[in-house]
């Protein structure tokens, strides 16, 4: 791996932010007049054939050793309700010179398949400081350290960058929790539907059907408060009011700027949203307890039960 050039944290982007400078037909893309890459550019040489390096990955960590991001040559199988890494770019491990660009952001926010929310799911920009990139190929690890520098046009103390990053992280945590919970509940809804369809006409299982239908109704009411499933484009917010998740995403968009300035209004709005989510999170946990009770009953009657996928 070659030395990584220090990079400024700035707004904007460039065609050079792409890892590969070739299109899908393996033809070079035009870089005439392009700005330099806005992220950290990593160059490395791979000597092994692709088949040997399919488990290769690049990790980014901060000066304290905290993992910030991991990118893979081949995304590992995801069997959870959290898809936050599914849109990450893959790294190249072709024999010869390879190139990868880290966008100076933390992990993306999980989304809900089929649900449109106006805004970005990008992770927060990292604070200026020292970072380490490590290339893992088989049992070998190659490391380089570099600096993420503050935009010299912005005069702000380090504490301002930390405050912005901390609030963005709190927002990301809540939105991830909401979206993962919704995906879990939708999966549970499908399972409940399957169970009731198989036993709804059997008198011996009438009580199971009643409990399952009650839980399904609770999930429907709970989800409606969290997401707006009717929106399909940016202009739909005119007709369909944003719900809790979209309100978080809007706040995140207002806060995620290159200038690290957190306003009192942003802090207050986060506290309001967090308190609202705390109420619905408690309802979510109560629903999970109800499902466990249902499962116990199903097991007693030797019926298929609900699988609680994380």
pLDDT in tens, the chain (310 residues): 999 999 999 988 888 888 878 777 778 888 888 888 899 999 999 886 655 666 899 999 999 999 999 999 988 777 676 778 788 889 988 888 999 999 999 999 999 988 889 899 999 999 999 999 999 988 889 999 999 999 999 999 999 999 999 999 999 999 999 999 999 999 999 988 888 888 877 887 888 888 889 999 999 999 999 999 888 887 887 888 899 999 999 999 999 999 999 999 999 999 999 999 999 999 999 999 999 888 888 888 777 777 776 6
End position of a domain, from candidates 153, 185, 217: 153
The number of folded domains in the chain is 2
Q: What is the sign of the dihedral through the CA atoms of 197, 201, 204 and 209? A: positive
Residue 270 in domain: yes
Task: Assess whether 269 and 291 both reside in one domain.
Answer: yes
Residue 243 in domain: yes
Q: What is the pTM of this model?
A: 0.89
CATH of the domain at 126: 2.60.40
- Closest residue by Cα to residue 303 from 185, 184, 204: 204
Q: Please give the torsion angle defined by the CA atoms of residues 213, 216, 222 and 228, in that order, rounded to the nearest 10 degrees.
A: -130
Residue 160 in domain: no
Task: Assess whether 254 and 285 both reside in one domain.
Answer: yes
* DSSP type of residue 209: H
The tally of CA atoms less than 13 A away on the side-chain side of residue 300 is 10
Q: Which domain holds residue 143?
A: 7-153
In 10 A of CB 231, how many CB atoms? 21
Task: Assess whether 270 and 190 both reside in one domain.
Answer: yes
Task: Assess whether 73 and 145 both reside in one domain.
Answer: yes
> What token pair was written down for 303?
């019926």
Task: Assess whether 140 and 170 both reside in one domain.
Answer: no
Residue 159 in domain: no
Return the SS3 of 129: strand
């Amino acid at each position: 791996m070659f030395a990584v050039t220090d990079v400024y944290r700035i707004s904007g982007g460039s065609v050079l932010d792409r890892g590969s400078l070739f299109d899908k037909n393996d033809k070079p893309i035009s870089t005439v007049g392009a700005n330099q890459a806005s992220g950290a550019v990593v160059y490395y040489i791979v000597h092994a054939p692709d088949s040997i390096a399919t488990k290769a990955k690049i990790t980014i960590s901060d000066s304290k050793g905290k993992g910030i991001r991991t990118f893979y040559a081949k995304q590992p199988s995801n069997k959870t309700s959290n898809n936050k890494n599914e849109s990450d770019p893959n790294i190249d491990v072709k024999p010869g010179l390879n190139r990868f660009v880290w966008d100076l952001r933390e992990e993306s926010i999980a989304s809900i398949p089929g649900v449109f929310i106006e805004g970005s799911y990008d992770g927060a920009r990292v604070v200026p400081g020292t970072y380490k990139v490590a290339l893992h190929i088989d049992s070998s690890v190659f490391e380089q350290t570099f600096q993420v520098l503050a935009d010299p046009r912005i005069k702000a103390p380090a504490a301002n960058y930390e405050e912005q990053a901390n609030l963005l992280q709190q927002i990301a945590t809540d939105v991830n929790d909401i979206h993962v919970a919704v995906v879990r509940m939708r999966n549970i809804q499908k399972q409940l539907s399957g169970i009731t369809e198989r036993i709804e006409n059997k008198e011996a299982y009438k009580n199971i059907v009643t409990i399952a239908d009650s839980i399904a109704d609770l999930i429907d009411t709970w989800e409606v408060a969290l997401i707006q499933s009717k929106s399909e484009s940016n202009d739909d917010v005119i007709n369909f009011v944003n719900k809790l998740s979209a309100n978080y995403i809007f706040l995140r968009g207002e806060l995620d700027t290159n200038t690290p300035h957190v306003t009192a209004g942003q802090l207050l709005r986060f506290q309001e949203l967090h308190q609202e989510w705390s109420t619905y999170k408690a309802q979510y946990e109560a629903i999970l307890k109800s499902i466990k009770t249902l499962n116990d009953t199903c097991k007693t009657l030797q019926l298929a039960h609900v699988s609680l996928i994380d």
